[in-house]
Structure 1
Amino acid sequence: MAEEVDYEALSPNAGLGINMIAGAFAGITEHAVMYPIDSIKTRMQVFATSPAAVYTGVGNAFTRISSTEGMRALWRGVSSVILGAGPAHAVHFGTLEAVKELAGGNEAGNQFLATCESSSL
């Protein structure tokens, strides 16, 4: 059986700058990948009041939007979301890792206290 690797122990503290860059890239990637789904969700909410423009589901909305407006229409406006997501996720992830470090989250035996959410206490 393969031995389990403790990835957290490989680099206990990468530093605030590295953590913020990692958070920014993670947030930008997540928002860019999920943006078409969010666009479809928003259109379905807005057009729900008009029976002529109602989509029957996510697949139907994806097909109708991409066939009538083109695939690029699903990413229209993504740049403004990315401009906000990068800094927001950088601060969020950087703060999370800094507080975790201050709480002793990278020391043996302190993982539960330093990494738990308030709802799990």
Structure 2
Amino acid sequence: AWDMTQTPSSLSVSQGDRVTITCQASENIYSYASWYQQKQEQAPKQLIYSASNLQSGVPSRFSGSGSGKYYSLTISDLDLEPEDATTYYCQYFGGISHIYIITSVPGPPMLTSHNVKYI
């Protein structure tokens, strides 16, 4: 199993914010990190592959970076409704490592993260 950690665990967000979410592996995963976005009742959509490559058709406000054990996804202009208020996954090969959820209702907009053990 891969031991992964993530930050932040909870973060207040606002429309138009620049938001960065991260994954950290316990050992070198050689840039085999992908980021996915999953909207409610839809299949996951790949945003970034091989750490920093933008998938075709994905807006350029999404960007990925990292190598070795450390990876991040940046959303440069957060659109809270409806486009970006959704779930994001950091994935290594076939297993989901991290889940981030951006919510805009109810209450104040928040980004929260959840641990998932990759097996």
| Common fold: TM-score over 0.5 | no
Larger radius of gyration: 1
**What range describes the TM-score normalised by the shorter chain of this pair?**
under 0.3
TM-score by length of 2: 0.22
Structure with more strand by fraction:
2
Q: Which has the higher contact order (CA 8 A, sep 6+)?
A: 1
